[in-house]
Amino acid sequence: MSEKHSGDNGGSPDCGDEPRRYHLDSDDYRRDLVPMFAEVVPIAHAVRVELDEEWLDEAFGEDDSERCVEALAAVDALDPERPDDRTRCFSLGTGRESEDALFALLDAATTMVGEHFVFRLALLDDSGNELLVTIPHESMLWGESPPLSERIVASIQELLADRVGLFVASTVYERWETGDHAYRFDTTAIVQSTLDRKTSRTYCSALSARHLDIVDETTLVFDTPMGEKVVPCVTRERAERVAKTVRALRRRYDGTRL
């Protein structure tokens, strides 16, 4: 089947004045959780946390549950706002107790029980905007700039420089089609979709590939833990651009040269 040649739009997309969402992609979310939040605390005004107290059961792990109970007690001692049964909000900067309560929650979230007990936690600025958000049981952590300043984003990225991880902007670098599929290079992954875009899947990750070759000038072949992944890029220029970006991401992530 012949290939459809979509526009060969190179370079990074123009994001204009829209906020850029950054997310943590790391080999060890628990290791990076607390220090990343510590980078943002100095500019934060408040904490909003959603807690799933059903996990406070010693049957799941006595030590973990104790850390969660202690964190909950530290939060409730602050007399937080309770917009619903699950959510607690408290201000930072009202004394050391508020920061201690925050870091007790984050410490609990690094345990098996705590990652479910601390369902969702966000640092807020003085306007109520979310600066940094985590959903521990999904190992998800993200923030948008603005309201995060470029300085804070850079400090987080510097923190990760000696770790296997990235705080990387969500970016669609390329979109293209073949006669069989639509593709996009989205942040750190090649996503393959049906031509109508109704279904899609992460086809391969820039961060898990063990090797990358350009074959026949227009085709990328990724060696992944799941076997070879062949990505037709239609044009030589696109194949070279995608390969260059993948290699740059890998060098930043873990120092690997593909």
Phi and psi, residue 99, nearest 5°:
-65, -40
- 215/31 Cα distance (integer angstroms): 38
Distance CA 204, CA 214 (A): 15
**Cβ–Cβ contacts within 10 Å for residue 82, how many?**
11
Which amino acid appears at position 41 of this protein?
V
- Residues 84-101 have pLDDT tens digits of 999 999 999 777 999 999
Under 8 Å between Cβ of 213 and 220: yes
Structure pTM? 0.86
Is 122 within 8 Å of 47 (Cβ atoms)?
Answer: yes
For residues 201-222, average pLDDT? 96
Question: Using CA atoms, how far apart are residues 155 and 114, in angstroms rounded to an integer?
Answer: 27
Give 213-243 pLDDT, tens digit per residue.
999 999 999 999 999 999 999 999 999 999 9
User: Is 50 exceeded by the pLDDT of residue 164?
Assistant: yes
C-alpha atoms less than 13 angstroms from C-alpha of 168 in its C-beta half-sphere: 23
The answer to whether 218 touches 234, Cβ cutoff 8 Å, is yes
Residue reference for tokens 């992609």: 25
Given a cut of 50, is residue 3 above it in pLDDT?
no
Sheet holding 219-224, edge to edge: 211-215, 219-224, 227-232
